[in-house]
Amino acid sequence: MKVFQGKVVAVKMAKTATVAVTRVVVDPLYKKRFKRIKKYHVHDDIGVKEGDRVKFVASAPISKLKKWKIVEVITNKKG
């Protein structure tokens, strides 16, 4: 089961949060490190806010783009 951590960047849809996952990749030739950011549409029953860090896992498809569910909120926006 895939488990990702990311930051909530939008909560504009009903029961859906957009979560950005950042990872560091290394260029195979020049060994330079750089960030790659991918956004996921995640099913949100908890009610997260923008800026929260969350952990989410793969699930059965809920809609066309939603194939992920939030498991827990790691840190809130304020703390």
- Of the two residues 1 and 31, the one the predictor is more confident about is 31
Res 1: pLDDT: 78
* Helix (H) and strand (E) counts in the chain: 0, 5
CATH number at residue 34: 2.40.50.140
Q: What angle do CA 50, 51, 55 make, to 5 degrees?
A: 100
Do the Cβ atoms of 10 and 50 come closer than 8 Å?
yes
How far apart, in Å, are the Cα atoms of 48 and each of 21, 31, 59, 67, 79?
A: 16, 37, 18, 17, 13
How confident is the model over 13-63, as pLDDT tens digits?
999 999 999 999 999 999 999 999 999 999 999 999 999 999 999 999 999
**pTM for the structure as a whole:** 0.88
The total number of structural domains that make up the chain: 1
Residues making up the chain, counted from first to last: 79
Domain enclosing residue 70, as ranges: 3-75
